Amino acid sequence: MAFNHKHLIDITEYSADDIMTILETATRFKEVNERRIKQVPTLKGVTVVNMFNEPSTRTRSSFEIAEKRLSANSLNFGGSSTSTVKGESLVDTVETLCSYKIDMIIVRDKHAGVPRKIADVSGVHVIDAGDGKHQHPTQALLDLYSIWERKGDLNGLKVGVVGDIGHSRVCGSLIPALKIMGCEVTVIAPPTLMPARPDILGADHVTSNLDEALPELDVVYMLRIQRERLEGAPYPSLREYNLLYGLTQEREHLMKPDALICHPGPINRGVELDSYMADHPKRSIILDQVYAGILTRMAALYLLLGGSEDGITA
Ligand code: CP
């Protein structure tokens, strides 16, 4: 299958075949990650800049590990240690970095649209590692991989996306990605955390009643409450939110016996998930999602940058 993308910025630009190519390539990199020496020379000589202008644990560390395991050279850049604090513009910053003949910029930024702007001005490959409330496409890929690995097939799965739909960039790419892969998506959120037009994301069903929706779902994807992006008071208290929308031990009897629990992390324990559900040995695949971050990011880097097959088994 031909893979003809320069950037990974908007998941809606990817077809089901493109996404399946990434998931199948991630499976090949799982084999690499199970070796004693977890490194292949496929991106030797390639330089990748990790520009993280917002905090991150999972995305940043997994991109760095993915680059190292593919033998790419990494430059970690961003935040308060750069000349942006002296007033240097985004465009000047990017042009400066590109003068070093880099090959790719991976960017996280609090402003939606920054990855596209960088792609327009730089000429190098760009991956969106989360931009404002817009998208987080590699999160969607690792989510799809984790669900696909457990369920075997994505087509026809009933997936509920629960919580802070209005402020979440995760759902901005997850919901379209689930639809591209043939899932039936239900959005579940309090009215105050629902965007004005939830249909824009492409969900099949929209409800504010978690207890009514749960019995139908094969996968329950709990979103993090985006405390850093909340304006006003969209719910009376975190305790109230947990009572109505938290996936708690008391709600387990409403779930299908084989329903899975996902969360992008970081978890607000006791708010959107209690520890019983977050650590559930049969249902929770949250740490599988974290591991899939390495595999799918290795796959995306390899496919976008046209890496060599050296060291990868067929
Ligand atoms: N899921 C996610 O993007 O986590 P980080 O903010 O830790 O990267």
pLDDT in tens, 218-258: 999 999 987 666 666 667 688 888 999 999 999 999 999 99
| 8 Å CB contact between 164 and 193 | yes
Pocket test for ligand 1, best of 50, 51, 56, 133 (most atoms within 8 A of CB): 56
Return the H-helix or E-strand segment holding 210: helix 210-213
Tokens of 113: 């649209």
* Cα–Cα distance list, 135 to 130, 171, 198 (Å): 6, 7, 15
- Looking at residue 75, its pLDDT comes to 97
Local mean pLDDT, 10-residue blocks, the chain (314 residues) = 91 97 97 97 97 96 98 93 92 97 97 97 97 96 98 98 92 96 96 77 93 98 80 74 95 98 96 97 98 98 92 80
Say how many Å lie between the CA of residue 60 and the centre of ligand 1: 8
Say how many Å lie between the CA of residue 264 and the centre of ligand 1: 7
- Does the pTM exceed 0.75? yes
Write out the catalytic residue numbers: 58-59, 86, 108, 136
DSSP 206: E
CATH number given to 137-290: 3.40.50.1370
- Looking at residue 270, its pLDDT comes to 94
Angle between helix 169-180 and helix 16-33 axes, rounded to 10 deg: 110
- Looking at residue 160, its pLDDT comes to 98
- Looking at residue 228, its pLDDT comes to 64
Give the 3-state secondary structure of residue 1: coil
Say how many Å lie between the CA of residue 57 and the centre of ligand 1: 6
Q: Closest Cα to atom 6, ligand 1: which residue?
A: 56
- Looking at residue 1, its pLDDT comes to 62
- Ligand 1 in reach of 139 Cβ (< 6 A): yes
- Ligand 1 in reach of 296 Cβ (< 6 A): no
- Looking at residue 11, its pLDDT comes to 97
- Ligand 1 in reach of 50 Cβ (< 6 A): no
Architecture of domain 11-135+293-313: 3-Layer(aba) Sandwich (3.40)
- Ligand 1 in reach of 116 Cβ (< 6 A): no
- Looking at residue 308, its pLDDT comes to 83
- Looking at residue 232, its pLDDT comes to 64
- The domain segmentation of the chain, as residue ranges, is 11-135+293-313, 137-290
Q: In what order do the strands lie in the sheet with 219-222?
A: 205-207, 184-188, 158-162, 219-222, 260-262
